[in-house]
Amino acid sequence: MISQDSENKDSPLMRLSSTVFWQADAVNFIFNFVSSNAVNLFGYTIQEWHQTGFWARHIHPEDREEAVNFCKQCISRKEDHEFEYRFLTKDKQVRYVRDIVNISFDKAGEMLLHGLMIDITDLRHAEEILHINTLALTTISQGVIVTDPEQKIISCNKSFSEITGYPESEIIGKNCRFLQGEETNQHTRKLIREAITEKKEFNGEILNYRKDGTPFWNELSISPVLDQKNRLTQFV
């Protein structure tokens, strides 16, 4: 059992952490210790966390039965376990959490649960946005390619392959210039190079060539992708 004094400690590092440290009774799932940052993350007081049935009661209704049953099954087998579910904050917001649970026994042989409840909401939202963006790239009719900062192709969508005749496997690692040919306007090429060097957008028409050698006019749009520190990560 962790003392009340240690439970009340609230270091600056703990307040900023998205991981709640906890200890609970393995029979009734009653918390006997919860780190103080749980108050900031989920809005409930430490006293509320200690209430009987608190954990299960605040799991999202759609996840509650599965999460509780999974935990019970692992406990019955005396297995450490890890699982994810949605947890409701005091102001009714939904947070995604990953719970990492370890099992131990005290001197009397009673089973105890020790865990880390990690708030992964931002990660889940980022994954959802990525999924939506990926879906958009695969379904739009315009050809799209993504390159690294050195202009080497990382990926392309299906429409690009249909327009140019090149499957993705044949263009990975190449520079987009491979689509250009003898009749491609030199001034347009220069404008593209300048935009890339200066990490600026480019919009214009360019004559490119398909895999079978036939030329086609391409309405080209190039956009640099910058991270939070304004560093170039990709071109799209």
Residue 53: inside a domain: yes
Q: Is the pLDDT of residue 95 over 60?
A: yes
Q: Quick one: pLDDT at residue 1?
A: 36
- Let me know whether 148 and 104 are in one domain: no
Q: Which residue has the tokens 């004094």?
A: 5
Do the domain assignments include residue 145? Answer: yes
37-51, 68-82, 86-100, 141-155 — which is least confidently predicted?
141-155
pLDDT beyond 70 at 116: yes
62 and 23 share one domain: yes
178: domain range? 140-235
Residue 90 inside a domain? The answer is yes
Asked whether residue 135 is domain-assigned, the answer is: no
Asked if residue 127 is part of any domain, the answer here is no
pLDDT at 110 exceeding the cut of 70: yes
Q: Give me the pLDDT at residue 106, please.
A: 86
Q: What is the CATH number of the domain that holds 170?
A: 3.30.450.20
Which range among 10-19, 25-34, 178-187 shows the weakest confidence by mean pLDDT? Answer: 10-19
The 10s digit of each residue's pLDDT in 171-229 is 999 999 999 999 999 999 999 999 999 989 999 999 999 999 999 999 998 988 876 66
Which pLDDT tens digit goes with each residue over 148-177?
888 999 888 888 999 999 998 999 999 999
Residues 24 and 52 in one domain: yes
Residue 74 vs residue 13, higher pLDDT = 74
- Whether residues 44 and 102 fall in one domain: yes
Tell me, yes or no, whether 175 and 69 share the same domain. Answer: no
Name the amino acid, one letter, at 183. Answer: E
Phi and psi, residue 160, nearest 5°: -60, -45
For the chain, give the percent of residues with pLDDT over 70.
87
Residue 130 resides in a domain: no
Same domain for 115 and 17, yes or no, is yes
Structural domain tally of the chain?
A: 2
Q: Which residues contact 30 (CB under 8 A, 6 or more apart)?
A: 24, 50, 51, 52, 54
Mean pLDDT of the chain: 87
Distance CA 175, CA 181 (A): 13
d(CA 77, CA 103): 10
Task: Check whether 139 has a pLDDT greater than 70.
Answer: no
Mean pLDDT over 113-127 rounds to 88
